[in-house]
Chains A and B, each alone.
Chain A
Amino acid sequence: MNKNMNNMYPYFFLIPAILIYGTFFLVPTALSFFYSFTWWTLTDWEFIGFDNFIQFFQEPSLRIGFRNTLVFAFTTMGGKVILGLALAVFLTSKIRNKDLLRSIVFFPALLSTIAVGYTFSSMMHPTKGVINTILSFIGITGPNWLGNPDIALLSVAMTDIWKGVGIATVIFIAGLMAIPTHYYEALKIDGGSALQAFWHITLPLSRPAMNTVIILALIGGLRTFDLVWAMTGGGPGFSTDLLASIVYKQYAAGFFGLSTAGNVLLFLFVALVAFPIFKFINRKEVDL
């Protein structure tokens, strides 16, 4: 065996992975780029250039879709970061039944999104739902959570935060546990308060965990579909349409080429939003 072969040898181990990745990821991705330029009925197709993209940009609910997608992604991301960090700090402090509490916080992440969606949409029913019934006991007339176009999207975002905060918390807990305890000891000797400990040690040093949460929550939020679909179906009217639900509706209507073009745009959109943010926050990371 010559030297060259020896160098090649380890790469052979990559073949199965490359085959699987190629068949199930690269080929479909390339195909969807191709079909986005066609009039496509699943059985035959015709090349029509950029028509689908032009058509997609004329979609009347698209403006709402773009805005909603951004609002949803950033709201849920913010909620998950803030709540997740707060819960993680609480769950790493000296409290009893820590393990039980951690399990409870993580529990919603195990549930099926569709089930969560249906449950919450019945709980948010304006007159018969649990939430408004409880609110009426303390004399508050609850809003029409999912029926009011102005707040429907936020109601869905709240549900998404409830469901996703468990994962964020776990990531934060891992991050907090990695902070060496001697920083806190040093602060204590210097007479620093708990607030100072959080502000000057916990917050900056949990940065890597926070970046992970931000990126995961943001990408997850940008391509959310299932929860919105289960809770509102994009309605009332078009008020909770997200990019993904617009793409889905076009697919369901049989506009296969058009919806593929929408998917390609969604892909580019997620990349355009996520990459700069990823770069930006990584620059701010500090070493432990």
Chain B
Amino acid sequence: MIKRQRHWVLFLLVTFIAMVLLAACGGGDSEETSGGTNSEDTGSDTSGEAVELSMLVSETAMDDPGFVAVLDAIEKDLNIKTNVEVRPGGPEGENVVKTRLATGDMADLLLFNSGSLLMALNPSQYFVDLGEEPFMDNVMDSYKEVVSSDDQVFGIPAKSSQVGAWLYNKKVYQELGLEVPRTWDELMANNEKIKEAGKTAVITTYGEAWTSQLPILADFYNVQAEVANFADDYTNGEAKFANTPEAQRGFERIQEIYENGYQNEDYTVATYDQGMQMIAEGTGAHYPMLTQVLPIIEENYPDLVDDIGVFPQPSDDASTNGLTTWMPDAIMINKEAENVDAAKKWLDYFISDKGIAAYESKAKSIGPYVLKDVELPEDSYAAVEEMQVYFEEGNIAPALEFVSPIKGPNLPQICTSVGSGTMTAAEAAAMYDDDVEKQAKQLGLDWD
């Protein structure tokens, strides 16, 4: 009898453990965070007619206090509550979006990339055309281009534009008596001096592979300057990285940085956060990156953010010097949304003066806005002010992924291979061309 009891206890214990384990495994997938509503319950939603909209955003969006502030303002002023669901970033997140679109399980609003990644979703099938909406008049045409297909316009900008460029630490530059380089050779000479001074010349964070692409993506202004029709020919399958020396130069630059030993010791595993810390504290002098890091740096190192400056990726010719810009992510309305009217009001508010004011009450922009008549505030980041000059003089070009619908999915891995010495620039260019061809096939482009 005692033995039998023991069996029962054991059975219950095993069942219990199994259930705890199952519960622990299942928890992580679909966390739902309400858009900051717990922090600010203003009591204005007492009318009882509150509308609720669901929204799918990437994990980094909720780190932006400005974005959260706009959601709060929308709830307060329009009585529309936004129920935010967070998805992972990168390819994993794209996958979530694609699967949910295909299975008809998309939220009412979607925050997603503009440009090539949006085109890969086949937007006309899933999103409401906003072309006729009056609020779209505020959006600059250059932005509409990257959220349009089949003569329809699908999204509003989720924040300001930004650039992909070289962030540098001004204190290090002062200390070593360096000047902002105008050519690639000058940059490499600076790197040599920084290395001799015992600091990391080029911060490299392959622990998060996507960060490896910046030296090639930010080189597109230079490619465009020399091969004006590259983007079109590339989209039509005529121009390739391997047979366009100007384009292949981006891979070569990564290779040169590696071969000269300018990277931090732990570059193969260092993370994005570690990169930000290094550039802020000046243990590293350069970080090729998107200016989206500025608000995060400000949050973590508020006293150091204005030590960071920015310059374009230099070309081989001093007369070619301009910034490669990134268009902001877009917010789209799902065609299947129950309350499309409320969603339109939501978008209208988001890019209205009130929406911008709410955003700027909590965060600063990372570049000029793509909305008409919106000026940068006076207390912008030092780096953004440096960027402004290039914008005013018109020395800017959108990144390749905004002028062509194709971007090969393996680019991060290819760049890390070149940057860690296991692949040459020429091999990388050839491999990336194959990768791009696969993407073109999937998009149904006729390349043969």
Residues of A within 8 A of B (CB): 39, 41-43, 55, 58, 60-61, 110, 112, 121, 125-128, 144, 146-149, 233-239, 249-255, 258
Within 8 Å CB of A149, what residues of B?
420, 422
Contact B409 A126 (CB under 8 A): no
Q: Which of A112, A127, A235, A252 contacts B416 (CB 8 A)?
A: A235
Within 8 Å CB of B92, what residues of A?
252
Contact B268 A148 (CB under 8 A): yes
Tell me the B105-122 residues at the A interface (CB within 8 Å): 120, 122
**Least Cβ distance of B99 to chain A in Å?**
7
Instruction: Kindly state whether residue B94 has any CB partner on chain A within 8 Å.
Output: yes
Within 8 Å CB of B267, what residues of A?
147
Within 8 Å CB of B98, what residues of A?
42, 254
Within 8 Å CB of B67, what residues of A?
none
28 contacts between A and B (CB under 8 A): A39-B442, A41-B102, A42-B103, A55-B438, A60-B431, A60-B434, A61-B410, A110-B17, A144-B269, A146-B268, A147-B420, A233-B209, A234-B413, A236-B416, A237-B413, A237-B420, A238-B413, A239-B417, A239-B422, A249-B410, A251-B95, A252-B91, A252-B92, A252-B94, A253-B442, A254-B120, A255-B438, A258-B442
Contact A144 B266 (CB under 8 A): yes
**Least Cβ distance of B424 to chain A in Å?**
12
Within 8 Å CB of A41, what residues of B?
102, 122
Q: How far is the CA of A250 from the CA of B21 in the complex (A)?
A: 30
Tell me the B66-96 residues at the A interface (CB within 8 Å): 91-92, 94-95
Instruction: Kindly state whether residue B25 has any CB partner on chain A within 8 Å.
Output: yes
Q: How far is the CA of A138 from the CA of B417 in the complex (A)?
A: 33
Select from chain A the residue with minimum beta-carbon distance to B414. Answer: A237
Q: Which of B99, B206, B420, B434 contacts A42 (CB 8 A)?
A: B99
- The 0/1 profile, CB within 8 Å of A marked 1, for residues 412-434 of chain B is 01101100101100000001001
Count B-side interface residues using an 8 Å CB cutoff. Answer: 38
Contact B434 A236 (CB under 8 A): no
Select from chain A the residue with minimum beta-carbon distance to B120. Answer: A254
- The 0/1 profile, CB within 8 Å of A marked 1, for residues 16-27 of chain B is 010001001100
Within 8 Å CB of B124, what residues of A?
none
Most chain B C-beta atoms within 10 Å of own C-beta, residue among A41, A233, A235, A249 = A235
**Least Cβ distance of B119 to chain A in Å?**
11
**Least Cβ distance of B126 to chain A in Å?**
10
Since A43-B125, A60-B435, A235-B206 are in contact, a sample of 12 more A-B pairs with Cβ atoms closer than 8 Å, ordered by chain A residue number, is: A43-B102, A61-B410, A144-B266, A147-B267, A147-B269, A235-B413, A236-B420, A237-B416, A249-B91, A249-B410, A254-B94, A258-B438
Most chain A C-beta atoms within 10 Å of own C-beta, residue among B21, B102, B410 = B410
Within 8 Å CB of B120, what residues of A?
254
Q: How far is the CA of A235 from the CA of B210 in the complex (A)?
A: 12
Within 8 Å CB of A258, what residues of B?
438, 442
Instruction: Kindly state whether residue B439 has any CB partner on chain A within 8 Å.
Output: yes
Instruction: Kindly state whether residue B336 has any CB partner on chain A within 8 Å.
Output: no
Instruction: Kindly state whether residue B265 has any CB partner on chain A within 8 Å.
Output: yes
Contact A237 B417 (CB under 8 A): yes
Within 8 Å CB of B103, what residues of A?
42
Within 8 Å CB of A235, what residues of B?
206, 209, 268, 413, 416
**Least Cβ distance of B171 to chain A in Å?**
23
**Least Cβ distance of A141 to chain B in Å?**
12
A-B complex: 4 closest residue pairs judged by Cβ atoms: A147-B268, A237-B417, A253-B409, A42-B102
Q: How far is the CA of A250 from the CA of B409 in the complex (A)?
A: 8
Within 8 Å CB of A146, what residues of B?
268-269
